[in-house]
Amino acid sequence: MSHTVALGEPTVGPEELAAVQRVFDSGWLSGAGPTCREFEGRFAEAVGTAHALATSNCGSALHLGLEVLGVKPGDEVIVGDYTFPATGHSVMWTGARPVFADIRPDIWSADPASVEASITERTVGIIAVDVFGQPADYDELRAIADKHGLFLMEDAACSAGASYKGRPAGSLADVATFSFHGRKGITAGEGGALVTDREDLATHARKLHTYGIAPALSREGSSSLPIPSFDEAGYNYRLSDISAGIMMAQLDRLPGLVARRGQIAAAYEERLLHVEGVTAPVALEDRVHPWQSYVVTLDEGIDRGVVATHLRQNGVQCNFGTYASHVQPVYQFDRSLPVSADLFMRHLAVPMHANLSDADVDRVVEVLTEAVAVAR
């Protein structure tokens, strides 16, 4: 059997190793140091915001964002349902309650009508999720947020390099958060970022992400002995300078990685037109999809487990799409969201990363075609 086609794979090489060496040579390896600050400046510029804060992961960025937006116990935050549970968990970490909204059947982000129908007197904000990287409907969601006096947050975990009506992902809400996990379009293995145009939110988030004091870098070079005091409890949500160095190299790669993933997505779409029982994902013309994942929809009646087993047995990695959050027991959510629940059972992620060859795509589609025939 030929090589296994990986579901996801980072694109890294000598440039990342050289970046790590530069951090080693600097002598500052820990978090929130000079390399982090340099990366934050470059990342803010890339996503079109005034401020960026490098964090340990996207979950910590989500939590910081909700904290500085003032979410407190007893509040409700509406969350697009189709997402890894880090989004809902971050609301719970504040003591608030996530209220899940159903999703569009085509691009799988929060349906604005479902969002508005979910608003109660306890609602304080909305978290829209850019599912697999494609931005949600921010014009409609902003109108709803403004109408009801709510904040709008963008869970852009998968969205580096995406855009919506010409505006980059990250600049589409009051606060946005990114992930640099190993499956993401650009990666340091782990890591994340919070971005915003609001200086007050950025300043407070920077304080909270270092236990509640200014990072040590702000005291570097002082001729006296400044001793910070703690007036609120914060967290250790810093990104190491080693990871920030890797992310500097990854930012250089970002345009090429998004372009290559787009080519692969187009190749998949062309080939899947001829595969009965499989529907390719939709990329809307008014936004740039960065294709963090490539998720197909299987027709009803096709046994997804059989399809997955056949793919894996023939050297093609795969997985389910993501979670219908509202059915997870931790949330004890008492309403049905039929679109999200249905797609949760029929989505299948197939290999997507910038290192795939055209021959890899051909092989994935060939094995998928066989698998669907077996699973009917």
Enzyme catalytic residues: 184
Which residues are CB-neighbours of 257 under 8 A, at least 6 positions away? 11, 161, 185, 186, 354
CA dihedral 210, 212, 216, 221 (to 10 degrees): 160
Of 230, 133, 206, which Cα lies nearest the Cα of 172?
133
CB 140 within 8 A of CB 104: no
CA 323 to CA 325: how far, in whole Å? 5
Q: What are phi and psi of 168, to 5 degrees?
A: -70, 145
Which residues are CB-neighbours of 111 under 8 A, at least 6 positions away? 101, 102, 103, 104, 339
CA 13 to CA 4: how far, in whole Å? 21
User: Hey, how many other C-beta atoms are within 10 angstroms of the C-beta on 283?
Assistant: 18
Burial of 203 (0-12, 13-18, 19+ CB in 10 A): middle
CA 116 to CA 78: how far, in whole Å? 9
Signed CA dihedral, 8, 13, 15, 20: sign only? positive
